[in-house]
Structure 1
Amino acid sequence: MSQAFNMPPILLVEDNPMDLDLTLRAFAKRKFSNSIQVARDGEEALAFLPRWAAGETMPAVILLDINLPKVNGLDVLRQIKSHEQFRRIPVVMLTSSREHSDLKAAYDLGVNSYIEKPVSFSKFIEVAGQIELYWCVLNERPV
C-alpha cells in the first residue's frame, strides 16, 4: 500500500501467517491510507526502535500480539512504554489471548487498548475500520 499524504505507517506485529494474512486482507479491503509495516516476532518489532530514534517515521499505532516468538508482546510493550521517545506511540494489543492475567499485565504496562482478534473475516474488516478511524484519523498524536 502506498503511503498517501505522508500518513504515518501502522506497525503490525504478528507471527501467525494466517492471522497476518487475514489482517492485511482486511486492511486492504478497507483501503487504508496508512502503509502497513510488519514485524513477525518481538525481536523484529524491537528492531524498529533504533530506526525511529534515527529519524524514521514512527507509526500512528502499533498492533501487537501477545504470544510472539523470541520476545513476547508484553516484553515488547514494556520496552516501548519505558522509552522516553516512544512511550506516546499508541499500542493496541490485537490478540487471541482471553487470559485475564494478560489483559491486566498489558494495561499495567501502559497498553492503550486490548482487542480480542475476531474470528470471522467480516468482523476483522469491521475491527480494521474501527482501528483506522480511531487511531489513524480521529486520535490526535503529539508532534
Structure 2
Amino acid sequence: MDCRSSAPGQEVEILLVEDNPGDARLVQELFSDAHIVNRLHVATDHREALEFVTQRGEFTDAPRPDIVLLDWHLPRATGDEVLRAMKDDAALRRIPIIVLTGSDAGEELIQTSEFEANAYLTKPVDPDDFISLVRSFEFFWLSVIRSPPDL
C-alpha cells in the first residue's frame, strides 16, 4: 500500500512477516487508517520472507525492506530462522528487525544472547491498544530513528 512519505521523496519499505491473514489485514488497515508512511509488503512464512529480502524466486523485483516486522510464531519455523539468516548475511544485517509476539515472551527472547532483533512488540488484543501501538511504531521507527548510510 502506498502512503505519504516521512521524508521528502523517501518511501519506507516495510516487510510484515505474518502467517495469520486476519492479523496481516488488521495491520494493513491500521497502517492505512493511521496514515503511516510506507509501502507495506506481506510474507506469510519464513520461506517467503527470506525470498523477499534476498530478492529470489517470485520476489526478484521486490524492493529491499527498510524495516522488517517479524511474527515470532510462524508455520514450520519460528521467526528465529528468518532473524538468524538476515543477521548472518552482510547485505541484510543492517535492516532493523522488530519481533512481534502475542505474549510477554518477547522480554525472554531479547534476554537470550543469540537473539539479534532490534526490538520486540507485544501484539495487544484490544483494538484501541493495537491502534496506539501502530501509531507509536510510526512515530518512533519511521519518524525518529534514522539508519546510518550503507558503507
Task: Report the Cα distance in structure 2 between the residues aligned to 1:81 and 1:140, rounded to whole angstroms.
Answer: 19
SS for the counterpart of 2:69 is strand
SS for the counterpart of 1:63 is strand
Structure 2: runs of 5 or more not aligned: none
SS for the counterpart of 1:10 is strand
2:75 maps to which of 58, 69, 92: 69
Is residue 104 from structure 1 mapped to residue 111 from structure 2 by the alignment?
yes
The total of aligned residue pairs comes to: 141
Q: Cα deviations across residues 57-77 of structure 1 (Å, max 9, x unaligned)?
A: 322211001110133201110
- What is aligned with 1:14? 18
Between 1 and 2, higher relative CO (CA 8 Å, sep ≥ 6) is seen in: 1
1:1-143 alignment, distance < 5 Å: 1-2=1-2, 4=4, 5-51=9-55, 57-99=63-105, 101-105=108-112, 108-143=114-149
TM-score, normalisation: structure 2: 0.82
Q: Cα deviations across residues 37-76 of structure 1 (Å, max 9, x unaligned)?
A: 0001111101113218x78532221100111013320111
Q: CA deviation at 1:6?
A: 3.6
TM-score, normalisation: structure 1: 0.86
